[in-house]
Chains A and B, each alone.
Chain A
Amino acid sequence: MQIIMVEDITRNVARMCCEANMHLGQDVKVALERALTIEESPAGREVLKELLENAEIADKERIPLCQDTGVAVVFVEMGREVIIEGGDPLEAINQGVEKGYQECYLRKSMVGDPLKRINTGTNTPAVIHWEMVPGDKLKITVAPKGGGSENMSTLKVLKPAQGEKGVIDFVVETVREAGANPCPPLVVGVGLGGTFEKAALLAKKALLRPLGQAHSDSYYARLEEVILEKVNSLGIGPQGFGGRITALAVHIEYFAAHIASLPVAVNLNCHASRHVERVFQGVKK
């Protein structure tokens, strides 16, 4: 068994909140540079350059990439041979979020109740997804999610007969309807199958895959390419100013489904695709 202390979780989650909000991933920088070689629209090219410069300033001056430092979405994969000691692990994660958002001057964007809307002042509670996996490691991913792109995300349970075409049309329509709101160029996460809530979770997980990495199943890798091509034919372009690059990537994750249902969820993300992961090494017992 491996023992991990809650203090270790809190300390690391705090750092991950800061890093995810101030540092643009290398995969995203590569994707933006590549987009610059393709984009024909002068206004679109200016946007891509500005986003690359933004990442440099954020890194150098420790200013968040975006003022919307997001809901703290946290994925935990806990190996069955891991024991967490010293307190409540969920509380440890929330304490880490509070510490990170405070110490790195991130915006606190959480209201405690969706209708009464009083800011909690700490950016907690985090939205935590906990999963048990084989092995002796603990992996935590912090993925701050902004409102602009989250608000344009969609979910629908299609009829199985609508099949691949139904899925393609639904994803493309979501991006078209979203227009400039979710800050294109986008990363498009698609969750297929499972149930209503499973599809949504898969779509969010799809956003965690590094840009430039195709799906491991060649059928879905091709489907990702087909959808990306269609999305980039919409003409929306960077920031909606018109252009070729409406999305940097389309990522699909799937799960088994009921004989009567074809759930499809589309979770849009801005170019930054913010997420940081850490694998925790415990102490052997």
Chain B
Amino acid sequence: MKGKKIKLPLQEEEIKDLKRGDRLLLSGTLYTARDAAHKRLLEALDRGEELPFRIKGQVIYYVGPTPPPPGKVIGSAGPTTSSRMDSLTLPLLERGLKGMIGKGSRSEEVKRALQKHGAFYLAAVGGAGAFLSKKIKSARVVAYEDLGPEAIYQLEVEDFPVVVINDIHGGDLYEEGKARYAREK
């Protein structure tokens, strides 16, 4: 598989060079979080507590995997729809979150915040959970275990394939891709 190899956590200079449409192969650490975990993270911030992991410079993967079958580190693990996290994202960007992996477009508010904070939004292929699970080498619960598939996991990934949707320069692959291939009368 082709793609630019990127080590996580990200370096500031690297993010600047990445453009919408770029295929990346990520290796390193990702943190999972979806609806319920986001709600808890924000509640922790409201109470003035520390977050359960150091968010500065990190990438969050929006995923709720299936349970790991015996002998496997994780089950099927593809991206979930990102827009559900739109209203819960800004406080995390303000604290240094550098990237998010999901699927589907983000709100205008999130897109503006990405540019402001020098962060980017990536998509993995929705519906390719079995394929993507092979790129995950280990999974460890770091918080909210009671949430089951919605708990926060620390994942170690190797050549995890993603596509840049929103870069820090305001590029948007969903908008540009559609405009390029549309042929409506």
Contact = CB atoms under 8 A, between A and B. Distances in A.
B131 A54 contact: yes
B104 A63 contact: no
A118 B12 CA distance: 40
- Interface centre among B125, B161, B163, B173, by most chain A C-beta atoms within 10 angstroms, is B125
A236 B126 contact: no
A233 B76 CA distance: 32
B183 to A, nearest CB: 5
B177 A235 contact: yes
B75 A63 contact: yes
A270 B80 CA distance: 13
A59 to B, nearest CB: 9
B177 A43 contact: yes
Chain B interface category by residue count: 35 or more
A237 B163 CA distance: 14
Nearest to A230: B184
A25 interface: no
Contact of B127 (A66, A108, A240): A66
B130 A65 contact: yes
Interface string A95-111: 00000000001111100
A107 B180 contact: no
B84 to A, nearest CB: 8
B64 interface: yes
A235 to B, nearest CB: 3
A105 B69 CA distance: 6
Contacts of B129: 54, 63-68
Interface in B155-185: 161, 163, 173-174, 176-185
A240 B104 contact: yes
Given A180-B123, A234-B182, A63 B130 contact: yes
A151 B67 CA distance: 23
Interface in A42-90: 43, 46-47, 50-51, 53-55, 57-58, 61-69
B76 A43 contact: no
B99 interface: no
A40 interface: yes
A239 B123 CA distance: 9
B66 A67 contact: yes
B125 A239 contact: yes
A243 interface: yes
Interface string A215-234: 00000000000000010011
B128 A51 contact: yes
A201 B63 CA distance: 29
Contacts of B176: 242
Contacts of A64: 66, 75-76, 129-130
A41 B80 contact: no
A51 B125 contact: yes
Given A233-B184, A235-B180, A244-B181, A63 B126 contact: no
A68 B176 CA distance: 28
Contacts of A148: 80-81, 103-104, 126
B176 to A, nearest CB: 7
B154 interface: no
A181 B123 CA distance: 11
Given A54-B128, A105-B69, A148-B81, A242 B178 contact: yes
A254 interface: no
Interface string B51-93: 0000000000001111111001001111011010000000000
- Which of B81, B174, B185 is the most central at the interface, judged by chain A CB atoms within 10 Å of its CB? B81
26 contacts: A41-B181, A43-B21, A50-B161, A54-B129, A57-B134, A61-B130, A63-B72, A63-B130, A63-B133, A66-B126, A67-B64, A67-B65, A68-B129, A105-B68, A109-B64, A147-B80, A180-B174, A183-B103, A233-B184, A234-B178, A237-B178, A240-B123, A241-B123, A242-B180, A242-B181, A271-B127
Given A106-B67, A239-B123, 7 more contacts: A107-B66, A109-B149, A179-B104, A180-B123, A240-B105, A241-B177, A270-B126
Q: Which 7 residue pairs are nearest across A and B when measured between Cβ atoms?
A: A242-B177, A235-B182, A235-B181, A183-B126, A181-B104, A58-B130, A54-B131
